[in-house]
Amino acid sequence: MREEISVKQRNVAIFIFDDVEVLDFAGPFEVFNVTSDVVDPTPFNTYTVALTEEPVKARGNLSINPSYSIDNCPTPDIILLPGGDGRRHLMKDGRVLSWITKHVDNIEKLLSVCTGAFYIAHSGLLNGLSATTHHGAFSEFRETFPDVTLTEDKRYVENGKIITAGGISAGIDMSLYVVEQLLGKEKLSLTLEEMEWQWHQRR
């Protein structure tokens, strides 16, 4: 059942790349998409973005056609950066970092899942702040970013508009938290019911 509310529609840009972790991007995509299915008018316009519009091969060779490239996507209100082995080739890529920093002042939320936090950290946006990432990358993150306080015991860590989530499924919980922040508890409940998801509220 869709519930009608008066709400601004927000553009949610989810960055994808070769060897991206599937649930890192698909979990949050589902959260924002389901919310848009059960709340009317649609609160989110959720789309995938890549360096180009060529197909991306995610972990396990899952082929995805990005909706846009970073050069032609709608202006985002929310950017989500997933992780995966492919981030090793891109986390210092000037095109990606410039895209993030170009929009950071005007977006409402900058989100990462798993090792997607490396993108934000390489942009310098986490210096002096706390963050988390996948537990398997704790040592690498701590050594690479000494100016960032690594938090190891929370599923997601909030620093104003920047929220970093831990490994893989934690991105779902973080995205649900964002839904609650932006739309309220009642709209969150509609999403949880539709998804049949037991929300881990621990941050």
Strand, coil or helix: 79: strand
> What are φ and ψ of residue 160, in 5° steps?
65, -120
Each residue's pLDDT tens digit, 91-116: 889 999 999 999 999 999 999 999 99
At 59-83, the pLDDT tens digits run: 999 999 999 999 999 999 999 999 9
- Provide CB contacts within 8 A for 30, sequence distance 6+: 172, 195
Q: Which pLDDT score, from 0 to 100, does residue 200 have?
A: 74
Q: Global pTM?
A: 0.94
Model confidence band, residue 202 (pLDDT cutoffs 50, 70, 90): low
Q: Binning pLDDT at 50, 70 and 90, where does residue 7 land?
A: low
Mean predicted confidence (pLDDT) in 41-55: 97
Question: What is the phi/psi pair of residue 91, to 5°?
Answer: -70, -15
Is a pLDDT exceeding 90 seen at residue 153?
Answer: yes
Would you call 56 helix, strand, or coil by DSSP? strand
Residue 132 — very low, low, confident or very high, per pLDDT cuts 50/70/90? very high
CA 70 – CA 172 distance, rounded (Å):
23
The pLDDT of residue 42: 94
In the chain, what are the domains? 9-195 (3.40.50.880)
**17 touches 56 (CB < 8 A):** yes
Over 50: is that where the pLDDT of 6 sits? Answer: no
Q: What is the pLDDT of residue 8?
A: 82
Contacts of 198 (CB under 8 A, 6+ apart): none
**Given pLDDT bands bounded at 50, 70 and 90, which one contains residue 5?**
very low
pLDDT surpassing 70 at residue 46: yes
